[in-house]
Amino acid sequence: MTRKQHVPWKAAGAASEEQHSVDEVVRETGWVFNNVRGPALTLAAFVESGDQETGAYLQAFSLQGLASAEATIVEIGSGIGRMTAGLTRLFGSVYACDLDAAFLERCRETVAQFGMPERLHTCHVSDGRTLPVPDGVADLTFSYITLQHCQPDDALALVREAVRVTRPGGAVALNFRTWVGRDAVLWPLGSTIRGLWRVPGLGPRLARRRFATRLGWQANRLAPSEVLPRLAGLVDVQVHRSHLRRPFGAPGATEATFDGINPSHWWLVARRAT
Ligand SMILES: C[S@@+](CC[C@H](N)C(=O)[O-])C[C@H]1O[C@@H](n2cnc3c(N)ncnc32)[C@H](O)[C@@H]1O
C-alpha cells in the first residue's frame, strides 16, 4: 500500500502526466512546488524562480565555489526540475532524485528546454529513503523543501544517504522544517488530512486539492537537536536560520542567519569528513 506521506506526490505526478506540456503542468499542478498557479504562469518563469533561490542559497552558504563544469551535485527532491535546470548550467553532472517517476520525466523535459540535458541523470527514489546513487560522487548534495515531506525516519535515512553520496571534503546543504507557534493548529489538522488520504475514493480526490494538500503534506517537524546527534562523518557543521528565529543552540554546530530563510525552516550545511 502507498505510504500516506507519498500520496500527494503520486497524485500530483499522475496529474502532471495528464498535461500536454511542462508549461501546462506549471499552470495546473506547479503549485505543489512553489505555491503559485494560474493561466499566466510559464515554465520559463518557474525555472527563473528556481535559479534565483538556488543562487541565493549557494551564496548565503558560501558554496558557489563548488560549482564548476568538473563538479557533481546530487539534488534530493528535484520535482519537475524547477532548480534542476539551473543546476545543470552550474555543475558538470547532476543527479536529480525524486520519489515520483512522472516528475522525473517532466524534469528531463524542463532541463531539455532550460538546462544542459547531457549533464543530467534522473534517479527514482522508489522507497522514499534510498538514493540510487553511487558512494562519494557528489561535490555537493542539496535538498530544498523535500525532507519536511518525508516520514521522520525516511527524512533521517535520506540525510544519511546525503552523507554517503558526498565525497570526502564535499558539502551537504539540506533544508528542514521545524516547529513554529501556528503548528499547534496546523499539526493536528495535517495529521487528520494524512489519515483521510488513505480512505479509498476520497483520499485520491482530496490529494489533488490545494488547501488539503498544503495542510497535510508536511509529514514531520525536525529540529537541529533531533538531526545532528544522529549524524556521523560531518565536520564544519553549520545551522542557518531566519533572523526572525531565536538561536537553536544546536549541539556541535555554528549558527548563522539569512533573511531568505522561512522562519519555520533551517538548513544543515556541513562538509563530509576526509
Ligand atoms: C515541494 S517539492 C520541491 C521540489 C524542488 N526542490 C523545488 O524547490 O522546486 C518536494 C519534492 O520532494 C519529492 N519528495 C517527497 N518525498 C520524497 C522522498 N521521500 N524522497 C524523494 N523525494 C521526495 C516530491 O515528489 C516533490 O517533487
Each as own residue / partner, the long-range contacts of residues 181-189 (CB below 8 Å, 24 or more positions apart, any chain) are 183/221, 186/215, 186/218, 187/221, 189/215, 189/216
Categorise residue 227: left if φ over 0, alpha if ψ from -120 to 50, beta otherwise.
Answer: alpha
Q: For residue 35, with 0-12 CB atoms within 10 Å meaning exposed, 13-18 middle and 19 or more buried, which class applies? A: exposed
Q: What is the pTM of this model?
A: 0.96
Judge contact between 119 and 73, C-beta under 8 A. Answer: no
| C-beta 33 within 6 A of ligand 1 | yes
- pLDDT in the model for residue 151: 94
Atom of ligand 1 nearest to the CA of 81: 9
What atom in ligand 1 is closest to the CA of residue 13? 25
Tell which wins on pLDDT, 67 or 1. 67
Residue 33 Cα to ligand 1 midpoint, Å, equals 8
The pLDDT, as a whole number, for residue 4 is 83
pLDDT above 90 (res 265): yes
Mean pLDDT of 91-97: 98
Contacts of 157 (CB under 8 A, 6+ apart): 129, 130
pLDDT of 1 higher than 70: no
Confirm or reject: Cβ of 107 under 6 Å from ligand 1: no
pLDDT confidence bin for 26, thresholds 50/70/90: very high
Q: Give yes or no for residue 154 CB within 6 A of ligand 1.
A: yes
Residue 146: CB within 6 Å of ligand 1? yes
Q: Determine the pLDDT at residue 2.
A: 66
User: In angstroms, rounded to a whole number, what is the distance separating the alpha carbons of residues 250 and 254?
Assistant: 8
A 10 A CB-CB count for 9 gives 24
Does residue 51 line the site of ligand 1, with CB under 6 A?
Answer: no
pLDDT of 180:
93
Judge if the beta carbon of residue 82 lies within 6 A of ligand 1: yes
Name the band, by pLDDT with cuts 50, 70 and 90, for residue 37.
confident
Q: Is the CB of 142 under 6 A from ligand 1?
A: no
Cβ of 99 below 6 Å from ligand 1: yes
Residue owning the nearest CA to atom 5 of ligand 1? 78
Ligand 1 atom closest to Cα of residue 103: 27
Handedness of CA 125, 130, 131, 133 (dihedral sign): negative
For 17, 111, 114, 117, 123, the CA distances from 94, given in Å and listed in that order, are 23, 11, 14, 9, 10
Q: What is the pLDDT of residues 186-202, one digit of tens each?
A: 999 999 999 998 888 88
Sequence-distant (≥ 6) Cβ neighbours of residue 43 within 8 angstroms: 21, 22, 23, 25, 26, 110, 113, 114
Percent residues over pLDDT 70 in the chain: 99
Label residue 61 by pLDDT band (50, 70, 90).
very high
Shortest-distance Cα residue to atom 2 of ligand 1: 33
Query: Over 60: is that where the pLDDT of 32 sits?
Result: yes
pLDDT given for residue 92 in this prediction: 98
Distance between CA atoms of residues 50 and 185, nearest Å? 30
Rounded average pLDDT over 114-132: 98
CA of 171 to the centre of ligand 1 (A): 20
- Under the banding of pLDDT at 50, 70 and 90, the label for residue 59 is very high
**pLDDT surpasses 90 at 210:** no
- 28 CA → ligand 1 middle, Å: 17
- pLDDT of 35 > 90? The answer is no
145 Cβ inside 6 Å of ligand 1: yes
Q: Quick one: cell of 123?
A: 534517479
